[in-house]
Amino acid sequence: MTLDRILQSQGFGTRRYCGDLIAAGLVEVNGELCEDPRANFEVDGLRLTVDGEEWLACTKAYLMLNKPTGYECSQRPRHHPSVYTLLPVPLRLREVQAVGRLDHDTTGLLLLTDDGQFIHAQTSPKKMVPKVYEVTTAEPVTEAQVEALRTGVQLDDEPAPLAADACEATGERSLRLTLLQGKYHQVKRMVAAAGNHVEALHRSAIGGLALDPSLAPGEWRWLTAEDLAALRPA
């Protein structure tokens, strides 16, 4: 692909604008200055520097974000800032989307991509992708509550009880809950139905991929090939 089209595909602007950046000597490719907009390169793995900003080119973008509290997973938030404001402009312009949503007061692992097939594979109920949540509760956790969450609790708008794929107490007022569904406010509603109340909620893993502990709240990074492999069904 020509360099001007590569920059355009990465979200740096129109093809003409990207061509102007290149011709002005503001683009390096793998550490070397390139002033030819028509120069051809393979996209994936190409290391760019655009007007001083380093960028890893990719045909499809796959990211993990450590979502902080107080952000909505919406392009048009109502009451809190959008989680997309935590991303650099090129990723926002290429319209990456959250893979599922977290409530504004829920923190932790959020995947984002511009690959529609990937989003479907991770969010379709038929795929049954496990998601692990660390739950802080208002009251001490009892064995009866853990057992209820394991065997199933009845929610008002559900025809049958919903059960966690796994549940364990991790402290006096904390649980680790694994779900295969992704229903509205499911963790909060299930814990309430079991006789407790969620004070804080953090998603720590999706499938076989855990949140990178080096990411501070609000930080993101590209998913590696190993990360993507961990998200594929066994």
Instruction: Cite the active site residues.
Output: 103
User: Are 140 and 195 spatial neighbours (Cβ–Cβ below 8 Å)?
Assistant: no
Query: Which tokens in the block code for residue 117?
Result: 């097939």
Give CA–CA dist 43/58, Å, rounded.
Answer: 6
Give CA–CA dist 108/133, Å, rounded.
Answer: 9
The count of residues in the chain is: 234
User: Of 88, 101, 117, 103, which is closest to residue 206 (Cα–Cα)?
Assistant: 101
User: Cβ–Cβ contacts within 10 Å for residue 79, how many?
Assistant: 7
